[in-house]
Structure 1
Amino acid sequence: MPDAMISVAEARARILAAVKSLPAETVSVAEAVGRVTAIDIVARRTQPPVAVSAMDGWACRSADVAAVPAKLVEIGYVPAGASFDGTVGPGQAVRIFTGAPVPAGADCIVIQEDVDAAGKNLTVREGAKAGTYVRPAGLDFKAGEVGVPAGRRLTPADIGLVAAMNWPWLEVHRRPRIAMIATGDELARPGEPIGPNQIVSSNALALAALIREAGGIPIDLGIARDEEASLSAMADGARGADMLVTLGGASVGEHDLVRKVLGQRGLALDFWRIAMRPGKPLMFGRIDNAALLGLPGNPVSSLVCATLFLVPALRALQGERAESRPPLTAKLGRDLAENDGREDYLRSTLSFEADGTPVATPFDKQDSSMLSRLARADCLVVRAPRAPAAKAGSRVAIVPLGSAGAFLG
C-alpha cells in the first residue's frame, strides 16, 4: 500500500525490481571507461601468441647450462618484434630481448648479467632450468576466453585488457538520462538575487554531480514554483528521460504539490514513506513510462536518500552486476544511545588504527540542516530500528561516501 511506511531494504528492493537495464550502444574503447559492458568481451587473440622471453639475455637449451661454467656460441640475434627462423642446437644460443619469440630448440633464457660474452663466444656463469624466463603462449589470455564479463563497469585496467584482446569498439549499456525538478518558492539559484525568505538551491547541483559520478546524464529542468501550472509545465520537459527525480514536495502539507500534480498526469505511486532518518518522505512510482523518485527537499536528506536509492537504480539501469557481499563494517569511535523506530544513517568520519582497522566516528550533532557535516563525512554509520545503546569499539555497519568507497573496497 502506498501510504504504509516501509523499511529501507524493502524500498530499495522495490526500486530495483522496477528498473530494467537500458539498451546497448557501441562506443570506442578509448571512450569506454566507466561504462558498463552489455556483452561478454571475449579475447580475439592469444597473448602472448607464442612463447616469448621475459628478460634480456640468450635463448639456449637448459641441458647445455645444467653445469656451469658452460661454453656456448651465439648463432643469431632477435629483438622484440622480430624472430629467429633457425633452430638452436647443442652448444648454441641466440641473443634475445624481452618480448621476442623464443627460437625453436631453446627452452630457457640465461640473463645477460650471468653471461660473459667475447664476441660470439659465451661463458654462462649461472645455469637455468627449462622454462626459466620464458612466458608461454597464452600466459595472459587465450583466444575465446572471457576477459571482461557483461555487467562490469570498465576500469582503466579493463580498457587496457580489452584493447590487448583486439576490441576497438565495445557494446555498453546506454547511460541513463535523469531529469530533475527542484520545487519551492523559497529556492534561488546560486548567484541569483536572494529574497529575504529564500535560500540558495544546492540540491540540484549536488544531485547532478552524484548522477554524473554514477554514470548517468543529469537533465536539470529548473525550479518549479509552488503552483500547479509551474510544476506541470516543468514535468513536460521530462518526457524521454529514463527517470524523473523531484526534489521536495513529497511530504504531507498544503504546499506539497508533487503527488497531486503528477497524479493528475498518470503517476502510479508505489510508496512514499520510509522508516529512516534522514529522509522519511521519499516517493517512488512510474510516470510516462519512466521511473519517478521523489527525494526530500532537505539537502542532507536528499543526498543520503540519493546515495541509498538513486545510485543503485542508476547501476541497475546501466546493467551493472549486483555484487553479493557482506556490508562493510568499522569500529565505532564513540558511544551511541539506543535508537528509535527509524533506521538511522549517521554522518561520520573515518580514521584507521595501526593495523588498518577502520574506525567510524559519528558527528555529535546530526541535524539534517547541516550540509557541512555531510561534506566532511567519509561514511554513514547504519543503526537498525530499536538498536540498543552501542559502546565505542563495537562493530557497526557503514556506507562509504566518496573516495572512501574505493579505498575500503
Structure 2
Amino acid sequence: MIYFDQAAAVVGDIAKPLGSESVPIGEAHRRVLAEPVVARVDSPPSDVSAMDGYAVREEDLLRLPAQLRVIGESFAGSGFTGGVSPGSCVRIFTGAPVPPHADRVVIQEIVRREGDFAVIDDNLGTAKHVRGLGSDFRKGAVLVGSGARLGYRQLVAAAGADLAEVKVWRRPNLLILGTGDELATPGSAADTTGAIPESVSFGVAALAEVWGASIRDRLRLPDDLKAMERAAAQALDKADLVVVTGGASVGEKDFAKAMFERQGLELLFSKVAIKPGKPVWLGRAKGKLVMGLPGNPTSALVTARLLLAPLVAGLSGLDPQSALRWRKATLLAPLPACGDRETFVRAREFPDGVEPVSSQDSSAQKMLVDADLLLRRRAGAIAAVDGDIVAALDF
C-alpha cells in the first residue's frame, strides 16, 4: 500500500499523450492542441470601421461645420470601390473596409444628412473608430498555444485564424467493466429480488469524458472468473484504458485483478492509504492501462476524481496536475481528527465557506448530489473547527 501523493506521482509519470490527429474545427471542442493555432490571415484583413457612420478625410474636418458630398457606401464584405477625394465622404457600416484616403469614421449620431451631403457640426471627440489592418492579429501569429484545451473562446480564435482543422491529441478510448452478480440495469432492479441498480459506471464514464476520454463501452459482468477473463481480453483489444469497478477486495468472488492475470497484469500499485477508496489499483496488461475502482458509489467516484481524472487528462494531452488543483477554503463546521489514512471529506460549497455533507458513508449516493468538493485531511490531522482553512478540490 502506498500513500496518495505516491499514487498521484505514478499516475503523472505514465499519463502521456497517445498520439495526435487532425480534426475539423467544428469537432474540436474540449480537445487538447498538439500544435499551436497559427493565423493564416491578418485580422482584420484591412482597415475597417468600428461604427456605423461616414468615412472621411481628417483634413476635411479642420474647420467645422464641414459639408461633405456622399459619394458611395461601404458594407462589410462589399466595400466602396473608389477612394475618398477631398470634400467627399462615404457612408460606412460596422466591419466595412475603410476606403483609400479616408482616415477617420464619424459616427452617424453626430452627422446631419442633407440630401447628397453629410454635415458635421462639432463634438467629434478623439476616437477615429477605425480598426487597423492586423490590429487584432497578423498572419503567422500564434493565437492558442500547444497543450491548450479548446473551449468556446479558443474556438473563436482558431476559426478567426482561418483554420478548417486543428491538430489535437487523440482522446483515450476507455472501457468500463462493472463487476457483481447483484448489479442490474437501471430500470430493472425493482423487478429482481436481491438486485441493485448499477450506478457507478454512469458516473465514472461522465467524469472520464469531462477530462478527455472517449467512452468505448460500459459492460456489466457476473462474478464468474472465466467470463471475466474473456471480457478482460476483449476489453484490452478495444481500449487504451480499462476501468474495472468492484471486485477489488479479498472476498471469494473479488476477481478484478485475477481477470487480467492471463493478460500479464503488472501492478503499478495495488492499494492506496486513503479513505474512502483504499482498494483502488493501477496496472498494465498487454500494453494497456487498467485501473480498478471500488464498487461502492462514493468510493468509486472519489478515487476516480483523485486518480482517474489526472490519468485521463494526461493521456488526452493535458498536464495531469491540472486535474489536482487544490485551493484554500474556510470551514463552516467542525471536522473530527483524522485517522491513520489520508481522508477526503465530501463537502458542499457556500458563498462564505465549505461544510461537510451529512453522510460520509462510502456507499452513499444521495449525498453525491450536494457534494461538490473534496476536503483533504492528512493522516493524523487534529480536529478542525469553524474558521479553519482546509485544502479543497472541485468534485
Distance in 2 of aligned mates of 1:63 and 1:340: 80
Task: Give the AA of the match of 2:278.
Answer: K
Q: Distance in 1 between matches of 2:42 and 2:321?
A: 29
Q: Check if 1:52 corresponds to 2:48.
A: yes
Residue 261 to residue 82, structure 1, CA distance change in 2 (3 Å): closer
Q: How does 1:360-399 map to 2 (within 5 A)?
A: 360-399=354-393
**Aligned partner letter, 2:16:** K
Moved more, 242-251 or 200-209: 200-209
- The corresponding residue for 1:217 is 214
What is the TM-score when the length of structure 1 is the normalising length? Answer: 0.89
Q: In structure 2, what is the equivalent of residue 208 of structure 1?
A: 205
Q: Cα gap change, 1:250/1:102 in structure 2, threshold over 3 Å: closer, same or farther? A: same
The equivalent of 2:133 in structure 1 is: 137
Deviations 1:61-117 (A, max 9, x none): 334335543333323322222233443344332211111111222221110100111
Q: Which residue of 2 aligns with 1:257?
A: 255
1:277–1:345 CA contact under 8 A, matched in 2:
yes
- Separation (CA, whole Å) in 2 of partners of 1:219 and 1:31: 18
Within the alignment, does 1:156 sit opposite 2:155 as a pair?
A: no
Query: Paired residue for 2:89, among 93, 116, 119?
Result: 93
Matched, 1:7 2:28: no
The secondary structure found in structure 2 opposite 1:237 is helix
1:78 aligned residue (53, 74, 78): 74
CA distance in 2, matches of 1:323, 1:110: 52
Q: Using the aligned pairs only, state the percent identity.
A: 39
The alignment partner of 2:171 has SS state of: coil
The correspondence of residues 122-133 of structure 1 with structure 2, limited to 5 A, is: 122-128=118-124, 132-133=128-129
In 1: Cα distance, 2:195 partner to 2:81 partner? 81
Tell me the equivalent position of 1:18.
14
Distance 1:321 1:259, change over 3 A: closer
Which residue in 1 is equivalent to 2:35? 39
Are residue 174 (structure 1) and residue 177 (structure 2) matched?
no
The aligned counterpart of 2:243 is 245
5+ residue gaps, structure 2: none
Q: Does 1:341 align with 2:328?
A: no
Gaps of 5+ in 1: 354-358, 402-409
Tell me the residue number matched to 1:356. none
Distance 1:191 1:77, change over 3 A: closer
Normalized against structure 2, the TM-score is what? 0.92
Partner of 1:65: 61
1:128: how far off?
A: 4.0
Indicate the larger mover: 272-281 or 7-16. Answer: 7-16
Paired amino acid for 1:393: G
- What is the Cα deviation at residue 322 of structure 1? 5.2
Cα RMSD of the aligned pairs, angstroms, is 2.2
Q: Structure 1's 202 and 100: CA in aligned 2 closer, same or farther, altered over 3 A? A: same
- Tell me how many residue pairs correspond in the alignment: 392
* Distance in 1, Cα, partners of 2:96 & 2:259: 70
Q: Which amino acid aligns with 2:197?
A: V
Aligned residue for 2:280, secondary structure, equals strand
Preserved contact between residue 110 and residue 126 of structure 1 (Cα < 8 Å)? no
The 2-side partners of 1:139 and 1:323 are apart by 36
CA distance in 2, matches of 1:261, 1:255: 11
Give the drift of 1:269.
0.6
Measured in 1, the distance between the counterparts of 2:131 and 2:252 equals 73
8 Å contact kept, 2:181–2:222: yes
- The one of 315, 318, 321 aligned to 1:317: 315
C-alpha spacing 1:50/1:391, structure 2 compared with 1 (3 Å): same
Cα drift, residue 59 of structure 1:
1.2
Q: How far is 1:221 from its partner?
A: 5.3
Letter in 2 for 1:59: A
Deviations 1:328-352 (A, max 9, x none): 2222121112222222221112221
Residue 284, structure 1, aligned to residue 282, structure 2: yes
Q: Give, in angstroms, the shift of residue 386 of structure 1.
A: 2.1
1:185-219 deviation line (CA, Å, top 9, x unaligned): 23222233565444322112222222333332223
Q: 1:322, 1:54 → 2: CA distance?
A: 43
For 1:364 and 1:102, the matched residues in 2 are separated by: 64
Name the aligned partner's letter for residue 350 of structure 2. S
The verdict on how the C-alpha distance between 1:224 and 1:343 changes in structure 2, with shifts beyond 3 A counting, is same
Distance 1:126 1:362, change over 3 A: farther
Q: SS at 1:212's partner residue?
A: helix
